[in-house]
């Protein structure tokens, strides 16, 4: 951030009065520009003993498999965002069952929220951000080709919970060192 | 938003290629400025059969009682943010027990995350954003003077769950019409 979104003058980094963190503050109008974590909302679409995964067409981790998920938008609920991403990435019709896994990832300032969902039919296909979309039973999951650790963890929980028939909501802080560019 | 934070030229509202939503886009450098929901992280600090509430010194809802909570910051986990807010608003020492309630509030583009926490000692006091901090047993809760519906709901869940000795994580979408200004 270099310029004030309110008046167009240059911003400087300083700690505002009553605050304890460096913020971008306008040198002219003094508007404080806060930057905060983003929410990624997604679905774990389930069809019988299979789950739906998308092969990513875009970076990061193009070519790897993921659950449909993306940035929550202003004005939508987390569950609505999860269903929207499922439609966009997999052209899939799903219905929310329950919130399932949450992960706080401070190194990238993101919070992931995955919902268990029922895949309502087999009329799905790759959306613009996917190379492929497919159903996988537990023994077919490409564990070494999943896109992100939160995908591995959500699927591990799911297949373990499925054997017990109970799906408690699970939360974890995942603190990794920031990857070097 | 009126000006581009990257180059300082004027932004316009338009739907970028491959997108379906109006975004602020720079007319000069074409940078797309996404705006996304914020996370509010907070604690439900428990001491025996009492919970800690803060009387708000600031708008909105100044003078009303709330759980200590505030905007999650970049680089911190949700649980760390909840503890930070508890220190800032109540000068209180607490330890996280578990994530407890989540609320998605699309009309204000916020997601609330409350954690059950143990209040570790009685050495608390009003922080800068609080007029007062106090412990309340269930029959002492000022139900009609709570600041936000998410506070009522979290406390209602807590006192009901306390009788059963189980505290499942609870999620709800709370869709209210936006209040007129």
Task: State the average pLDDT over residues A126-143.
Answer: 98
Cis peptide before B96 (omega within 30 of 0): no
Would you place residue B179 in the very low, low, confident or very high pLDDT band (cuts 50, 70, 90)?
low
User: Which residue in chain A is spatially nearest to B33 when comparing CA positions?
Assistant: A5
Q: Does domain A38-173 have CATH number 3.90.79.10?
A: yes
Chain-chain contact of A5 with B1 (C-beta, under 8 angstroms): yes
Cβ–Cβ under 8 Å, residues B65 and B51:
no
Q: How far apart are CA B153 and CA B112, in angstroms?
A: 12
What DSSP letter does each residue of A97-166 carry, written as one string? EEEEEEEEEGGGTEEEEEEEEEE--S-----TTEEEEEEEEGGG--GGGBS-HHHHHHHHHHHHHHHHT-
Out of 2.60.40.3950, 2.20.70.10, 2.40.110.20, 2.30.42.10, the CATH code matching A1-35 is 2.20.70.10
Backbone phi, then psi, for A138, in 5-degree steps? Answer: -55, -45
Please tell me which of the candidates A2, A39, A171 has its beta carbon nearest to residue B99.
Answer: A171
Chain-chain contact of A3 with B2 (C-beta, under 8 angstroms): no
Would you place residue B104 in the very low, low, confident or very high pLDDT band (cuts 50, 70, 90)?
very high
Question: Which of the residues A37, A73, A161 would you substitute to probe the B interface, choosing the one with the greatest number of B C-beta atoms within 10 Å?
Answer: A37
pLDDT digits (tens, 9 = 90+) for A50-95: 999 999 999 999 999 999 999 999 999 999 999 999 999 999 999 9
Within 8 A of B113 by CB-CB distance, chain A residues are 102, 111
Question: Which of the residues A104, A116, A161, A173 would you substitute to probe the B interface, choosing the one with the greatest number of B C-beta atoms within 10 Å?
Answer: A104
pTM (2 d.p.): 0.95
Please tell me which of the candidates B5, B71, B77 has its beta carbon nearest to residue A104.
Answer: B77
Chain-chain contact of A11 with B18 (C-beta, under 8 angstroms): no
Q: How far apart are CA B130 and CA B57, in angstroms?
A: 5
Rg over CA atoms, chain B: 19
Cβ–Cβ under 8 Å, residues B10 and B27:
yes
Cβ–Cβ under 8 Å, residues B113 and B171:
no
Would you place residue A176 in the very low, low, confident or very high pLDDT band (cuts 50, 70, 90)?
confident
Q: How far apart are CA B139 and CA B133, in angstroms?
A: 17
pLDDT digits (tens, 9 = 90+) for B36-47: 999 999 999 999
Would you place residue B180 in the very low, low, confident or very high pLDDT band (cuts 50, 70, 90)?
low
pLDDT digits (tens, 9 = 90+) for A14-32: 999 989 999 999 999 999 9
Interface predicted TM-score of the whole assembly (ipTM), two decimals: 0.93
Q: For chain A, what are the domain ranges?
A: 1-35, 38-173
**Residue B143 structure tokens:** 């139900």
Residue A180 pLDDT > 70: no
Q: How far apart are CA B51 and CA B133, in angstroms?
A: 10
User: Which residue in chain A is spatially nearest to B115 when comparing CA positions?
Assistant: A171
Within 8 A of B78 by CB-CB distance, chain A residues are 102, 104, 111, 171, 173
Chain-chain contact of B171 with A109 (C-beta, under 8 angstroms): no
Cβ–Cβ under 8 Å, residues A125 and A133:
yes
């Amino acid at each position: 951030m270099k310029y004030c979104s309110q008046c167009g003058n240059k911003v400087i980094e300083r700690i505002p009065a009553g605050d304890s963190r460096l913020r971008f503050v306008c040198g002219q109008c003094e508007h404080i520009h806060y930057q905060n974590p983003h929410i990624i909302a997604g679905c774990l679409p389930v069809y019988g003993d299979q789950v739906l995964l998308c092969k990513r067409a875009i970076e990061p981790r193009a070519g790897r498999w993921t659950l449909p998920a993306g940035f929550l938008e202003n004005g939508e609920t987390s569950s609505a965002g999860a269903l929207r991403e499922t439609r966009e990435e997999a052209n899939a019709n799903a219905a929310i069952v329950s919130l399932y896994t949450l992960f706080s990832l401070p190194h990238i300032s993101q919070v992931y929220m995955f919902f268990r969902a029922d895949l309502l039919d087999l009329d799905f296909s790759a959306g613009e951000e996917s190379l492929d979309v497919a159903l996988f039973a537990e023994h077919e999951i490409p564990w070494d080709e999943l896109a992100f650790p939160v995908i591995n963890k959500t699927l591990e929980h799911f297949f373990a919970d499925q054997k017990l028939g109970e799906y408690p909501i699970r939360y974890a802080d995942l603190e990794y060192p920031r990857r070097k560019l």
